[in-house]
Structure 1
Amino acid sequence: MKFLKNLNKLSGCKAAILTNQSAFGFRGKYHYQTYSEIFDLKTIFLPEHGLFAELQDQVSGDELKYLFGNMQIVNLYGKEESSLVPPKESLSNVDVIIIDIKDVGSRYYTFLTTAYYILCEVSRLKQKTGKAPLFLVIDSPNPIGKKIEGTPLQKEFESFVGVTSVLHRHGLTPGGLLSYYNETFQLKVDVIVVPVGVIHPKSVSSFEWVPPSPNIPTQNTCLVYPGMCLLEGTNLSEGRGTTKPFETFGAPYLVGKAKEELDRRLSSHQSGNFILRNLRFLPTFHKYVGSICEGYQLMVLKPKQFHSLYFILYFLKQVAELFPKDFDYLKGVYEFRSDRPAIELLAGDSTLLDYLYGKVTDSDLEIYLQESESLWTRAIKPFRY
């Protein structure tokens, strides 16, 4: 990978940037403000949720307005799937495309998929014209570190919430993951990474945490998200509409003797890495708004040992067995796809889906996860730094 430690070497270049409020803190400013002092900043690309994380998930940003003088605002999360790809003219009149946006360490999180789509368009532009802007990634720490979880996304499940071959919890920084895409898919773009520590600090304390989107309020949320995001494909609440989304989860139907048996099974599965606190909650929006839900708060005790994905796969399998008349996987449009249910796009792997449907044992799942994680560890070695 190529590195750049002094942005002033590109001073005066015409630039476009993918960013949001998560890129904050250098010189006490939002980073797009700082870059305006170095570059001739022409365009801001808006990811899902908007520049200041104003919008909830799967809400179009077409109506968002910002006052930035002559600067162009290009929304890359509109009402149609075509909006996810940047217009060719937004790429052809700049020298540098800056990617400065924080990831949460999970492949479902859409910011780096948006960056990947931009990268692919830059690649097409280069193949067609022989020229393309420099792709400059301002690297930031992975908030959940280098630990990995999961299996590679299979091609038939690729979507905006999953790029082929990437694990559920990938263990890379934005610079590492985008460099992986560039090399693995032979995009042949000039990708330059500004190392962590030049703009973003090498680590971020909880006191400095800026929520990158509305339902990632804390770093702890990032820790459980690689597994808990699968709840989006079910009729269980993932805690949206509470103060601890993805850490709080449940449904009104988790009651009675079946709930007692679920508690027993989950208790025997904890192994000291986490605690499940029984609770009741009232979502203020999203699933079950205004209805009391019975459920849990997931409290992680040993982050290095806790495997969020394995936990939620086990949990969903138990709920499906114990509440067959109530539990269901959602159907309909999810992140612009209607040809597959959301759980398939999120799980992204036929073996994991077979496990959820009772066709794979717990022990076989564990072996499969371990083998997949070992292969991914070797594959990404060149992109870890």
Structure 2
Amino acid sequence: MKKSKILSDAKSIGMLTNQSAYGWKGDYHFRIIQKEYGLKKLFLPEHGLFAELQDQVSGSGLIYDLGETEVLNLYGDNEESLAPAEEVLSDLDTLIVDIRDVGARYYTFLTTALYAMQAADRLSKKGKSKPRILVSNAKNPAGSKVEGSPLQKKFSSFVGVEGTLHRHGLSAAGLLEYYKDKFKLDLELYRLDLYSKRSSEFLWVPPSPNIPAQTTCYVYTGLCLLEGTNLSEGRGTTRPFETFGAPYINDLDRSLLEKLQEKQKGIFRLRPLKFIPTFHKHAGKVCGGYQILLDKPKKFHSLLFGLLLLRTLKEFYPNQFEFLQGPYEFRSDLPAIQLLVGDQFLLDYLDGKRSYSEIQDYLEDTEKKWKKITKNYD
């Protein structure tokens, strides 16, 4: 690929990226930018540059030798660390956002990008110099399918931007363009052509340590809800989010298996198994559980399955299943499950106050509305 025309006049470049931005000219994209255009500042999201840190682990101690490029971590020890300070952006004329999203609002990378855009907008409103935003044309690995309902304001946090669906179905550039318009940000935002239109799961680079394969993106929207429970979401195994369970689950219980599979028959199957997480929840303990296998990935509704899974296990194991309490992604006033679900109607289902058919109809309606709202974004 020839040198980008849109970057030809850039004199002071910052870049929000990690190892998932790989393949342009056979190298990490930050190295290409650094070599061919100069890279003044490198901003790191959660998990670090090479996805070496686990979830909710501060990267404040990370050290990288990138020569004259300044490295700034945007996932530190407190909530203030999540956004760059205005003065950090004021000496940049260009900020490149080149990072893989997995298509779900809980995934924090594009929230980090939004926070950087909002910091740049504040500079603009103060009449100060601000960078233009260039967003790479990386595709959504989970595809254009949408799932869920808009996050209600009272549940907004680092793992949920107000108004965004659980599975948004947009590319990174599309979602950030939507945010620019929704929040009325006074910014110049352009797309940067770095990726081939052809894509392959065999060229997958994990954007974070627990998204080992592109197939993980298809189940993540529903199975990420397990983070708000005492169930293992498979961290500490080779297939996180595709493998899940707990020591108290009887994986040989056919009635449980049938209950979990009855709503989307022929679309997915659950393989009963036992596993021992090497770290995280239930580390070193034998867990009963399942691996989820998708027969028809494009038809699978991950969020509906995740909600059904939690309610069913709550009913089967009332004395053992628990929703976790305590701080989660810098908020301590609400439990993690509320921040993740982000919608009282769906939370009522988990509490047994609504039926599966009610939430199915509700989600069908909210998903149609989201598609209309975002039809000019992709």
Q: TM-score range by the shorter chain?
A: over 0.9
Q: Which residue of 2 aligns with 1:201?
A: 196
How far apart in 1 are the matches of 2:231 and 2:7?
51
CA contact (8 A) 2:91 2:129 kept: no
Q: CA deviation at 1:88?
A: 1.9
Q: CA deviation at 1:40?
A: 2.9
Alignment of 1:133-282 (within 5 A): 133-194=131-192, 198-255=193-250, 259-282=253-276
Please tell me the root mean square deviation across aligned C-alpha atoms, in Å. 1.4
How far apart in 2 are the matches of 1:351 and 1:163?
18
1:307-352 deviations in whole A, cap 9, x for unaligned?
0000110111111111100001000111011000000000010001
Q: CA deviation at 1:71?
A: 1.3
Unaligned ranges ≥5, structure 1: none
The letter for the 2-side match of 1:146 is S
CA contact (8 A) 2:75 2:82 kept: yes
CA contact (8 A) 1:11 1:38 kept: no
The letter for the 1-side match of 2:301 is H
- What secondary structure, in the 3-state scheme, does the structure 2 residue paired with 1:129 have? coil
CA contact (8 A) 2:247 2:286 kept: yes
Q: Which residue of 2 aligns with 1:37?
A: 35
How far apart in 2 are the matches of 1:356 and 1:288?
23
Aligned with residue 336 of structure 1, among 311, 330, 335: 330
Q: CA deviation at 1:12?
A: 4.4
CA contact (8 A) 1:11 1:39 kept: no
How far apart in 2 are the matches of 1:345 and 1:43?
32
- What secondary structure, in the 3-state scheme, does the structure 1 residue paired with 2:133 have? strand
- What secondary structure, in the 3-state scheme, does the structure 2 residue paired with 1:346 have? helix
1:37-96 deviations in whole A, cap 9, x for unaligned?
343311000100000001000000011100011211110000111100102221001110
Report percent identity of matched pairs.
53
Divergent runs of 4+, >4 A:
none
2:4 is the alignment partner of 1:10: no
Q: CA deviation at 1:204?
A: 2.4
CA contact (8 A) 2:152 2:342 kept: yes
- What secondary structure, in the 3-state scheme, does the structure 1 residue paired with 2:39 have? strand
Unaligned ranges ≥5, structure 2: none
Instruction: Figure out how many residues of one structure are paired with residues of the other and give that number.
Output: 376
Q: Which residue of 2 aligns with 1:314?
A: 308
Q: CA deviation at 1:130?
A: 4.7
- What secondary structure, in the 3-state scheme, does the structure 2 residue paired with 1:217 have? coil
Q: CA deviation at 1:142?
A: 0.5
- What secondary structure, in the 3-state scheme, does the structure 2 residue paired with 1:279 have? strand
CA contact (8 A) 1:141 1:203 kept: no
Aligned with residue 356 of structure 1, among 332, 338, 350: 350
Q: Which residue of 2 aligns with 1:55?
A: 53
Alignment of 1:61-80 (within 5 A): 61-80=59-78
CA contact (8 A) 1:110 1:160 kept: yes
2:359 is the alignment partner of 1:365: yes
Q: Which moved more, 1:329-338 or 1:32-41?
A: 32-41
